């Protein structure tokens, strides 16, 4: 009896001391799981630029000291999905076993759609670069890509340039692409004269291009993977279709220009972000210096998302709550439009509680040297 | 009419590549009666060799192509020695060789993925500048012409090799009956090595043409076209050199017409319906093989 009493007394002393400690002396570590498409078809266009931007942001966050008052640190663990759904789900499960509170996926609607229900079940906040609607019963999944706001600008641009017979090539096995294609002409009163459906694995477009020629089109919307867009443009030039106005979607990346070369220099496409100074000057310079490459839209999104996570973590910590999937989920919408993002972020992504985003984006094109510039430049 | 003619031209170009790939596969099947699925990996490696030679070493395509053929042939010979040869005297040779070849496919695909760094690469445009051509209303380009002419030349060369050389006579004898051919003094092992070399070389060349035409080199390139190659063999006739080419052309036309007149998502369905039709109605394929003349 005396032993039990002394143990109980000792425990009370320990608890009392712990309770007396100010919150600021306790450090919080936010472990972020990154499902990176670092190899495979999505690597060059999406996965690698996103990861580069994300890591650059983590370095900037540490340097800026914004998390110092709460002694919060952000640590990222990256697993390569090989641009495959099965590997992404396996990677998610590994992160879930480690009880990570937040997981990020750079792109690929099929991956987002596979992981989102799992994230909701495991109560892990999930930020996905997917364009398609995600199953989101618990509200834990957030979709970073706003397909509609920026896509409609492309349709208006084509019509303003005199396009009368607009066609589309759509990779229908990725649910984002039909959505993007439809959003491009939404509200314009114009519909496609022909829509050629392909798959994301297609590489030979000779038959499709012949179909387009016979439809006598003067503009074409490419709602396909960026490498496919490059291939199509190249094959179109070989088929004598140089005078067709070309437009793309949010999926377009520098890979398109790498394949098609100068034939892609007239291509207009919406982007969440494009290089061109303003509030992203420092980011562009730092990115070029570190990676010896021009940042792409996905680099910008990766950078901005890291800051978004920092902002959400800071809000949770300042509210005196523990950092977990639930608290980060609740904090994310406000964090996405808060003061920290306005100061350190480089684009506009407003998340809402239902998991959707509003992001006006910008209209971009390829310059003759392949750099992405604003379409007005 | 113009639309149909253009799509037919598209289909013939596509079918030429299918035929060439199917031919390499069919050579081994006819000679050794084994389903050498690792041929798909040899095909992939043909494209990888082409990429290394053009993008890394800066060789033009016309110089790289014979080297690709040589390297792919040697790779397939290596596969024969490691994966197939030791199984030829076992019971259930065909099943054992199939499983062994499947293992080799996985290993070679993973190695290709490592070499490519997990990325999708392409042969640089400068390796073979392509120029647009037209014949009346028909549009095509210099690469299309190269594909068709090269396929035709290789077919003629193969036909000459099989029907007008001593080696060809021995190859046909081994295909007919390996044991009897051995008893009659044919070096069956050497013949098989030669068949594997030829098969690999054809696979490498067709992979290079695919990589050029479709701008893609990935570690699963051969897997994508393997089923098409099998379909070309079935439609054309197992063991018939001319038949496999005709089968490839027919498959190329069918898939192109499916895209032209229906839509792309029906392409594979149409090809497989055609395959099933032939299996049910004419399982011997377009060209029947007479036992001692046509079979490789």
ipTM entry: 0.80
Task: Provide the H-helix boundaries in B165-296.
Answer: 166-176, 178-183, 188-214, 221-236, 241-261, 267-281
Encoded tokens for A24 = 């600021």
Interchain contact A196–B (C-beta under 8 A): yes
Alpha carbons A295 and A52: distance in angstroms, whole number: 9
In a domain, B194, yes or no: yes
**For B3, which of A210, A231, A234 is closest by C-beta distance?**
A210
DSSP single-letter state for residue B217: B
DSSP three-state, residue B114:
helix
Alpha carbons B2 and B191: distance in angstroms, whole number: 47
Let me know: does B61 contact B150? Beta carbons within 8 Å. no
Average pLDDT over residues B144-154: 92
Interchain contact A200–B (C-beta under 8 A): no
Alpha carbons A344 and A308: distance in angstroms, whole number: 9
pLDDT by residue for chain A (377 residues), tens only, comes to 444 444 455 554 444 444 444 434 456 889 999 999 999 888 988 999 999 999 999 999 999 999 988 888 999 999 999 999 999 999 999 999 999 999 999 998 899 999 999 999 999 999 999 888 899 999 999 999 887 777 888 999 999 999 999 999 999 988 889 999 999 998 888 999 999 999 988 888 999 999 999 999 999 999 999 989 999 998 898 888 989 999 999 888 888 998 898 899 989 999 888 888 678 889 999 999 999 998 999 999 999 999 999 999 999 999 999 999 999 999 999 999 999 999 999 999 999 999 999 988 888 998 888 888 877 65
How many Å lie between the alpha carbon of A203 and the closest alpha carbon of chain B? 5
DSSP single-letter state for residue A205: -
Q: Is the pLDDT of residue B288 over 90?
A: no
**For A259, which of B122, B256, B260 is closest by C-beta distance?**
B122
Alpha carbons A259 and A252: distance in angstroms, whole number: 12
B43-87 tens-digit pLDDT? 999 999 999 999 999 999 999 999 999 999 999 999 999 999 988
CA atoms within 13 A on the CB side of B254: 22
> CB distance A203–B216 less than 8 Å?
yes
In a domain, B65, yes or no: yes
Order across the sheet with A72-80: list the strands.
A72-80, A28-36, A102-105, A125-128, A141-143
Interface A-B, measured as beta-carbon pairs within 8 A, has a size of: 82
Alpha carbons B209 and B64: distance in angstroms, whole number: 12
Q: Is the pLDDT of residue B96 over 60?
A: yes
Alpha carbons A273 and A251: distance in angstroms, whole number: 12
Cβ contacts (< 8 Å) between B212 and chain A: which residues? none
User: Cβ atoms within 10 A of the Cβ of A127, count?
Assistant: 31
Alpha carbons B48 and A353: distance in angstroms, whole number: 47
Bridge partner list, A268? A247, A365
Domain extent at residue B99? 14-122+136-222
Alpha carbons A333 and B250: distance in angstroms, whole number: 56
Encoded tokens for B68 = 């690709």
Bridge partner list, A28? A72
Tell me, what's the pLDDT at A148? Answer: 78
Encoded tokens for A144 = 């970073």
Residues 298-317 of A with CB under 8 A from B: none
Tell me, what's the pLDDT at A27? Answer: 64
Bridge partner list, B135? B138
How many Å lie between the alpha carbon of B197 and the closest alpha carbon of chain A? 28
Query: How many domains does chain B divide into?
Result: 1
Alpha carbons B63 and A144: distance in angstroms, whole number: 48
Cβ contacts (< 8 Å) between A198 and chain B: which residues? 264-265
In a domain, B76, yes or no: yes
Alpha carbons A241 and A243: distance in angstroms, whole number: 6
Cβ contacts (< 8 Å) between B122 and chain A: which residues? 259
In a domain, B153, yes or no: yes
> CB distance A39–B132 less than 8 Å?
no
Tell me, what's the pLDDT at B110? Answer: 94
Alpha carbons B221 and B287: distance in angstroms, whole number: 29
Interchain contact B123–A (C-beta under 8 A): no
Interface probe for B, chosen from A238, A244, A259 (most Cβ of B below 10 Å), is A238
How many Å lie between the alpha carbon of A234 and the closest alpha carbon of chain B? 10
Interface probe for A, chosen from B16, B216, B258 (most Cβ of A below 10 Å), is B216
Cβ contacts (< 8 Å) between B216 and chain A: which residues? 203, 227, 231
B201-254 tens-digit pLDDT? 999 999 999 998 888 898 988 987 888 888 888 888 876 778 888 999 999 999
Q: Nearest Cα to A80, choosing from A116, A108, A121, A118?
A: A108
Alpha carbons A329 and A138: distance in angstroms, whole number: 10
How many Å lie between the alpha carbon of A47 and the closest alpha carbon of chain B? 11
Tell me, what's the pLDDT at A339? Answer: 94
How many Å lie between the alpha carbon of B119 and the closest alpha carbon of chain A? 5
Alpha carbons B229 and B23: distance in angstroms, whole number: 8
Alpha carbons A131 and B243: distance in angstroms, whole number: 46
User: Widest CA span of chain A, in angstroms?
Assistant: 96
B151-184 tens-digit pLDDT? 999 988 988 998 899 999 988 888 888 888 888 8
Q: Is the pLDDT of residue B285 over 90?
A: no
In a domain, B271, yes or no: no
Let me know: does A299 contact A323? Beta carbons within 8 Å. no
Tell me, what's the pLDDT at A22? Answer: 41
Q: Is the pLDDT of residue B291 over 80?
A: no
How many Å lie between the alpha carbon of A240 and the closest alpha carbon of chain B? 8
How many Å lie between the alpha carbon of B139 and the closest alpha carbon of chain A? 6
Q: Higher confidence at residue B206 or residue B268?
A: B206
> CB distance B214–A203 less than 8 Å?
yes
What structural domains does chain A harbor?
27-146+277-360 (3.40.50.2300), 148-271 (3.40.50.2300)
Let me know: does A366 contact A252? Beta carbons within 8 Å. no
| Band of pLDDT at residue B289, cut at 50, 70 and 90 | low
Bridge partner list, B121? B217
pTM of the model: 0.80
In a domain, B115, yes or no: yes
In a domain, B24, yes or no: yes
Encoded tokens for A145 = 């890509």
> CB distance A197–B263 less than 8 Å?
yes
């Amino acid at each position: 009896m005396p032993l039990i009493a002394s143990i109980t007394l000792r425990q009370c002393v320990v608890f009392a001391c712990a309770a007396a400690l100010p919150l600021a002396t306790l450090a919080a570590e936010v472990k972020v799981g990154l499902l990176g498409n670092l190899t495979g078809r999505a690597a060059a266009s999406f996965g690698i630029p996103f990861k580069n931007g994300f890591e650059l942001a983590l370095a900037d966050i540490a340097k800026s000291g914004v998390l110092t008052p709460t002694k919060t640190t952000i640590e990222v663990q990256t697993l390569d999905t090989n641009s495959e759904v099965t590997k992404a789900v396996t990677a998610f499960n590994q992160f879930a076993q480690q009880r990570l509170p937040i997981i990020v996926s750079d792109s690929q609607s099929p991956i987002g759609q596979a992981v989102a229900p799992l994230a909701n079940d495991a109560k892990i906040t999930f930020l996905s670069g997917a364009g398609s609607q995600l199953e989101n019963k618990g509200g834990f999944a957030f979709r970073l890509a706003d397909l509609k706001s920026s896509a409609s600008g492309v349709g208006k641009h084509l019509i303003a340039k005199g396009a009368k017979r607009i066609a589309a090539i759509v990779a229908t096995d990725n649910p984002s692409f039909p959505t993007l294609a439809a959003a491009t002409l939404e509200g314009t009163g114009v519909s496609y004269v022909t829509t050629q459906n392909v798959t994301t694995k297609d590489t030979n477009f000779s038959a499709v291009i012949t179909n387009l020629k016979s439809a006598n089109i003067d503009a074409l919307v490419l709602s396909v993977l960026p490498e496919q867009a490059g291939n199509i443009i190249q094959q179109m030039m070989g088929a004598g279709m140089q005078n067709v106005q070309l437009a793309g979607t949010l999926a377009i990346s520098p890979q398109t220009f790498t394949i098609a070369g100068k034939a892609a220099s007239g291509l207009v496409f919406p982007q969440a972000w494009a290089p061109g100074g303003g509030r992203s000057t420092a980011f562009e310079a730092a990115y070029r210096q570190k990676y010896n490459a021009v940042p792409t839209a996905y680099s910008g999104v990766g950078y901005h998302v890291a800051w978004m996570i920092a902002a959400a973590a800071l809000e949770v910590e300042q509210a005196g709550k523990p950092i977990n999937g639930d608290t980060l989920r609740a904090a994310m919408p406000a964090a996405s439009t808060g003061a920290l993002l306005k100061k350190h972020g480089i684009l506009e992504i407003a998340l809402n509680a239902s998991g959707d985003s509003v992001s006006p984006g910008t209209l971009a094109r390829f310059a003759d040297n392949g750099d992405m510039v604003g379409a007005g430049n | 009419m113009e639309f149909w003619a253009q799509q037919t031209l598209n289909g013939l170009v596509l079918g030429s590549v299918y035929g060439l790939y199917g031919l390499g596969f069919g050579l081994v099947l006819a000679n050794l009666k084994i389903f050498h699925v690792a041929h798909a990996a040899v095909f992939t490696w043909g494209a990888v060799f082409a990429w290394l030679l053009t993008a890394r070493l800066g060789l033009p395509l016309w110089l790289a192509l014979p080297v690709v053929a040589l390297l792919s042939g040697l790779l397939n010979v290596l596969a024969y020695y490691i994966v197939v040869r030791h199984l030829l005297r076992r019971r259930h040779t065909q099943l054992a060789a199939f499983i062994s070849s499947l293992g080799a496919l996985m290993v070679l695909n993973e190695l290709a993925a490592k070499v490519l760094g997990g990325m999708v690469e392409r042969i640089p445009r400068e390796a073979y500048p392509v120029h647009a051509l037209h014949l009346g209303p028909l549009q095509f380009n210099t690469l299309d012409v190269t594909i068709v002419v090269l396929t035709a030349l290789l077919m003629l060369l193969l036909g000459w090799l099989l029907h007008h050389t001593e080696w060809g006579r021995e190859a046909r004898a081994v295909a007919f009956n390996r044991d009897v051919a051995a008893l009659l003094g044919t070096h069956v092992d050497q013949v098989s090595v030669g068949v594997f070399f030829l098969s690999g070389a054809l696979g490498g060349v067709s992979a290079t043409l695919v990589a050029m035409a479709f701008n893609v080199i990935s570690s699963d390139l051969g897997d994508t076209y393997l089923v098409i190659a099998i379909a070309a063999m079935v439609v054309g006739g197992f063991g018939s050199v001319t038949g496999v080419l005709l089968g490839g052309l027919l498959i190329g036309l069918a898939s192109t017409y499916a895209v032209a007149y229906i839509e792309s998502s029906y392409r594979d369905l149409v090809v497989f319906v055609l395959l099933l039709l032939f299996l049910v109605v004419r399982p011997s394929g377009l060209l029947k093989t007479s036992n001692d003349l046509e079979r490789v």
